[in-house]
Each structure stands twice: as structure tokens, then as C-alpha cells.
């Protein structure tokens, strides 16, 4: 905001304007390596250079080579470089292209691999542009910029129709973990793995002591830092998987933070994710133990049953939007957790109680499938189905989400004085009358003049009186 204000002021004074800096630089594309695309240029006897004729492209690397770890095989083999150009002797260029020459358009080649061309437009245009690209922000001024340039080149050559390579880009955040070290007299730090340190925390969860297990002596807490070899604070996913299972690790990773923000790896968070999966297992197991269920009959549902079923379908709608449009997986998981808590407390006495539990359990399992596929597969079969991975995504029933009543907060001069329940389609006049008729509200408006009534439909009624 500050930058924009300064820029607008300078623009108004005619002393400057905002520009986009693409950080364009000259690109040194040659590498003295064997691996890579050979640069299709020829060195002629007269000292000039010429491109390899188009009918001789692509230039293929020799495969019968010996890697000595010192010199590129194509530089060490003078025979490979020998060729002719217009009947005259010439030497092939023995440098290869920077690997960005390949990685800048690999996504397109994935969609089409003809043996006699770069791409088949019919195939590439069927798939491209990429719907969702996930990559680190560190690539923003290299790979991602290069890929846009290459895509426009492919477009100009008629190999793709789209202008941009990606529809949506997600730059994931870094993973942080606690770090611990000791510093010797010379100031050199030795970093220790969190797995080798025992810690104690205060009531707010802050580390107050850290003891190295091997010698029982204290180490210094270096704070939450990016996982790295230099800080020795990386977490081996396999160890956590062996302890809790892959689904727990997947769930924690997606729940701990939005994908574009940094994620703090905390063991208690992993344990919490595991406890939630156990609750889901308990929910389904206890429901299945009650036997087969009938279909939901919306016309027979009591108000409490309608409320619970409404929550099921509101959760489906929210999770679908969070994953597909907003890409906020953590809030999607939070909504699933809230629904599971309600279902665990729900009655299972009647047929319609169990029908709603079946519908809600199925929705939870399906919504968890992209996040925790293994447990979802087991629970889906327990619920009487086959392979969850070919099951369709749950659809929210708009009719089930319609509320017959609304809870209205009633305030007098901005302070809560009552809560009233009204018909969902109640008019403003009806809500005002019911709100002012409430006995507690009467205590605060009696003998006063009502100056204004503010109504937020379906949510709030604020009476201003003095």
C-alpha cells in the first residue's frame, strides 16, 4: 500500500511511473557437458558459423560413449564432430544447450511425443494449457519466465494455440522445523537433529529447555528455520510414515498451513492429525456395526435431522469450493473435522438417523480421498462400496441446504440483548417487530426514542435508541 501511494504521488507530480521489471539478462546457453541438446551450429573452415540444415535436425548425441568424468565424450571424440556443409568440411559445435532449453517446454512434450516432430498440435492443443502448475517461487525469474517465452514461440510456430502455458500457478511455501546447535570457543556451530534432542515447553508451547540425548547436556534452540542439511533439521518422512502412516503425514502437511505459506513442522500437529483419522475410523466403524441403512427421506426428517443434513451438504459445498477454486486445503480439512464432530455426537436411534449418518460418512470419506487415500479406500469399502478412487465427487444438494429458520442477533446500541429465531423468508418489518417485542430488548428501549434500525438480512438487527 505504501509503495502504491508513493508511486501514485510521483505519477501525479509527473516525476515517475510504475513499470514492470522482468529482470531480463543475456542468457549464456552453452554448457561443456555431454547431457543436453547439442547446439545445432557448424564451425566452418573459413572461421564462420552456420546453422545445421533443417533437414538434418535434430542433432543426436552419440550413445556409444565412455564417461571418464573429466571431458565431455563428444569433445573427446573428434570423429563425432566431423561433418560437411555445402560439400566443404565442417565441425559440429560440441557444447550442449542449457537444460532450461528442455525444461522450459517439457509440460508440452508430456502431452505429445511424435517421433518425427516436437509436438503434434492436435494432441498438444487437446491438453494445453496446463490447468494447475505447482512450483517454488525461486523459479519465478528463471524457469517460469523461460517457459512463457518458449510457449509463445511454440504458438508462433503453430504447435500450440494457447497464449500462456499455465492457467493457474501455485508457489508453495517452505517447510520449517526447530533447529538446535552448540557453539565452540572459536564460534563454530555444530547443528543437531531435532530427533536427537529432548525438549520441554512452557504453557504457551515455547521451548524452554533442550537436552542432547547422547550426552545429557544442553543445546541452544536456534528457532524455527527452513529445513536444510546445513542446519541438520530435516525430518525423514519415512520415519513419520512408519510411526503414523502415510495418510497422517499427508493430512498434517495439507492442514498445517495454506499451501503458499510456510509450514511449521510440529510433532504435536502430526499427532493431532492422527487422532482425527482415528475419530473418522471410529465414526464409520460404529455406524457400520448398526447394520444396513435406508435412503434419506427428506419429507420425514425432523428439524434436528434437517439441521444435521444441512450441515453435511453445506460442508460438501464449502470443501468443493475450497479445493477447486480457493485452493485452501487447510480450511477444507477444518470443515470436514467440524462435520465429523457433529456426526460423532448425532443420534443413531431411528432409520432416518442412520440414513443421515450413512450420507454424512460417505461424504467425509469421499472428501478425504484426495488427502488420505489409503484410509478412505478402506472406509469406503466398509460403507458398502467398491473402489473409492473411481467414485464421483459428492454433490451438494441445494434443497437440503435451504434453511427454514434463521437465528437473528438483536443488539441495542451495538450491544447484544437477545437472540431470536425467525422464518428464513421473514421480512425486515417482521424481524423488527419480533426483535422489539423481546422482553429483554424491551428493558433497554422502554421509554426511549428509536432513532434507527439496522438490519443485516438473516444475521443481525441493531436498534439505535436514546
337-361 residue pLDDT tens: 999 999 999 999 999 999 999 999 9
93-123 residue pLDDT tens: 999 999 898 899 999 999 999 988 899 999 9
Mean pLDDT for all residues in the chain:
93
Percent of the chain residues topping a pLDDT of 70: 100
Contact 167, 176 (CB under 8 A): no
CA distance 379 to 375: 6
CA distance 151 to 173: 26
175-186 residue pLDDT tens: 999 999 999 999
Return phi, psi of residue 76, to 5°: -80, -10
CA distance 193 to 179: 7
* pLDDT score at 136: 80
Cβ-based neighbours of 324, under 8 Å, separated by 6 or more: none
Contact 411, 462 (CB under 8 A): yes
Tell me: pLDDT of 451 over 90.
yes
CA distance 132 to 242: 31
User: Is the pLDDT higher at 172 or at 273?
Assistant: 273
All three cell numbers of 140 = 519465478
Contact 90, 44 (CB under 8 A): yes
* pLDDT score at 398: 95
What's the distance, Cα to Cα, between the start and end of the chain in Å?
40
Tell me: pLDDT of 137 over 80.
no
All three cell numbers of 65 = 560413449
Mean pLDDT of the 187-211 span: 94
In the block, residue with C-alpha cell 470436514: 336
120-136 residue pLDDT tens: 999 999 999 999 998 88
Give the residue among 368, 392, 350, 387 at the shortest CA–CA distance from 284: 368
354-399 residue pLDDT tens: 999 999 999 999 999 999 999 999 999 999 999 999 999 999 999 9
Q: CA torsion angle for 206, 211, 212, 218 (degrees, to 10)?
A: 110
**Sign of the alpha-carbon torsion through 439, 443, 448, 450:** negative
Span of 168-172, 330-334, 385-389, 435-439 with lowest mean pLDDT: 168-172
Q: Where are the alpha helices (DSSP H) in 210-328?
A: 237-244, 246-255, 267-288, 303-321
Tell me: pLDDT of 144 over 80.
yes
* pLDDT score at 463: 96
CA distance 175 to 93: 43
Contact 176, 225 (CB under 8 A): yes
Helices (H) and strands (E) in the chain, counts: 16, 18
18-66 residue pLDDT tens: 988 877 778 888 988 888 889 999 999 999 999 999 999 889 888 888 8
Confidence of residue 67 (pLDDT cuts 50, 70, 90): confident
Mean pLDDT of the 64-83 span: 85
Confidence of residue 301 (pLDDT cuts 50, 70, 90): very high
* pLDDT score at 116: 85
Mean pLDDT of the 312-320 span: 98
CA distance 406 to 251: 34
In the block, residue with C-alpha cell 532450461: 100
**Sign of the alpha-carbon torsion through 355, 357, 362, 363:** positive
In the block, residue with C-alpha cell 492457467: 167
CA distance 32 to 370: 44
Structural domains of the chain sorted by starting position, each given as residue range(s) with its CATH number in brackets: 30-97 (no CATH), 99-172 (no CATH), 173-235 (2.20.28.290), 264-401 (1.10.730.10), 405-465 (3.10.20.590)
* pLDDT score at 156: 98
Contact 442, 451 (CB under 8 A): no
pTM (2 decimals)?
Answer: 0.71
* pLDDT score at 68: 82
Contact 163, 169 (CB under 8 A): no
Residues in the chain: 466
Burial class (CB within 10 angstroms; exposed 0-12, middle 13-18, buried 19+) of 186:
exposed
Mean pLDDT of the 400-424 span: 93
* pLDDT score at 71: 83
List beta partners, residue 180: 192, 221
Contact 282, 380 (CB under 8 A): no
Per-position b or e across 275-300, b if 16+ CB within 10 A of its CB: ebbeebeebbeebbeeeebeebeeee
Strand pairing class (175-183; 263-264):
parallel
Mean pLDDT of the 266-282 span: 96
CA distances from 205 to 110, 123, 276 (A): 47, 54, 21
Percent of the chain residues topping a pLDDT of 90: 79
Amino acid at each position: 500500500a505504501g509503495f502504491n501511494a508513493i508511486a501514485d504521488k510521483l505519477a501525479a507530480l509527473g516525476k515517475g511511473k510504475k513499470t514492470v521489471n522482468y529482470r531480463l539478462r543475456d542468457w549464456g546457453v552453452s554448457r561443456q557437458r555431454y547431457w543436453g541438446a547439442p547446439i545445432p551450429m557448424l564451425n566452418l573452415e573459413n572461421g564462420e558459423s552456420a546453422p545445421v540444415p533443417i533437414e538434418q535436425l535434430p542433432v543426436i548425441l552419440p550413445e556409444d560413449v565412455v564417461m571418464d568424468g573429466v571431458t565431455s565424450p563428444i569433445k573427446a571424440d573428434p570423429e563425432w564432430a566431423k561433418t560437411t556443409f555445402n560439400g566443404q568440411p565442417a565441425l559440429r559445435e560440441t557444447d550442449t544447450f542449457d537444460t532450461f532449453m528442455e525444461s522450459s517446454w517439457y509440460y508440452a512434450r508430456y502431452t505429445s511425443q511424435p517421433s518425427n516432430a516436437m509436438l503434434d498440435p492436435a494432441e498438444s492443443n487437446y491438453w494445453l494449457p496446463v490447468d494447475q502448475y505447482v512450483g517454488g517461487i525461486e523459479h519465478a525469474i528463471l524457469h517460469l519466465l523461460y517457459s512463457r517465452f518458449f510457449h509463445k514461440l511454440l504458438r508462433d510456430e503453430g504447435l500450440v494455440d494457447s497464449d500462456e502455458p499455465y492457467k493457474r500457478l501455485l508457489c508453495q511455501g517452505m517447510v520449517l522445523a526447530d533447529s538446535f546447535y552448540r557453539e565452540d570457543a572459536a564460534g563454530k556451530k555444530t547443528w543437531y537433529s531435532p530427533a536427537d534432542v529432548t525438549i520441554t515447553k512452557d504453557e504457551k508451547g515455547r521451548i524452554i529447555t533442550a537436552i542432547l540425548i547422547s550426552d545429557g547436556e544442553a543445546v541452544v534452540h536456534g528457532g524455527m528455520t527452513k529445513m536444510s542439511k546445513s542446519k541438520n533439521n530435516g525430518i525423514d518422512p519415512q520415519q513419520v510414515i512408519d510411526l503414523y502412516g502415510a495418510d497422517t503425514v499427508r493430512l498434517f502437511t495439507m492442514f498445517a498451513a495454506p499451501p503458499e505459506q510456510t509450514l511449521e513442522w510440529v510433532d504435536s500437529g502430526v499427532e493431532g492429525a492422527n487422532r482425527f483419522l482415528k475419530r473418522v475410523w471410529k465414526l464409520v466403524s460404529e455406524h457400520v456395526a448398526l447394520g444396513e441403512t435406508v435412503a434419506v427421506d427428506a419429507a420425514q426428517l425432523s428439524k434436528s435431522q434437517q439441521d444435521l443434513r444441512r450441515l453435511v451438504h453445506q460442508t460438501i459445498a464449502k470443501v468443493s469450493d475450497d479445493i477447486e477454486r480457493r485452493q485452501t486445503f487447510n480450511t477444507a480439512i477444518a470443515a470436514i473435522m467440524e462435520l465429523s464432530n457433529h456426526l460423532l455426537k448425532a443420534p443413531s436411534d431411528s432409520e432416518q438417523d442412520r440414513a443421515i449418518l450413512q450420507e454424512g460418512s460417505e461424504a467425509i470419506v469421499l472428501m478425504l480421498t484426495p488427502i488420505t487415500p489409503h484410509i478412505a479406500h478402506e472406509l469406503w469399502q466398509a460403507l458398502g462400496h467398491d473402489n473409492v478412487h473411481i467414485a464421483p465427487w459428492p454433490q451438494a444438494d441445494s434443497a437440503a441446504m435451504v434453511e427454514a429458520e434463521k437465528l437473528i442477533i438483536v443488539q441495542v446500541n451495538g450491544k447484544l440483548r437477545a437472540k431470536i429465531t425467525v422464518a428464513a423468508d421473514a421480512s425486515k418489518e417482521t424481524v423488527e417487530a419480533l426483535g422489539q417485542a423481546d422482553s429483554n430488548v424491551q428493558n433497554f428501549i422502554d421509554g426511549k426514542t428509536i432513532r434507527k434500525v439496522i438490519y443485516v438480512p438473516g444475521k443481525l438487527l441493531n436498534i439505535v435508541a436514546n
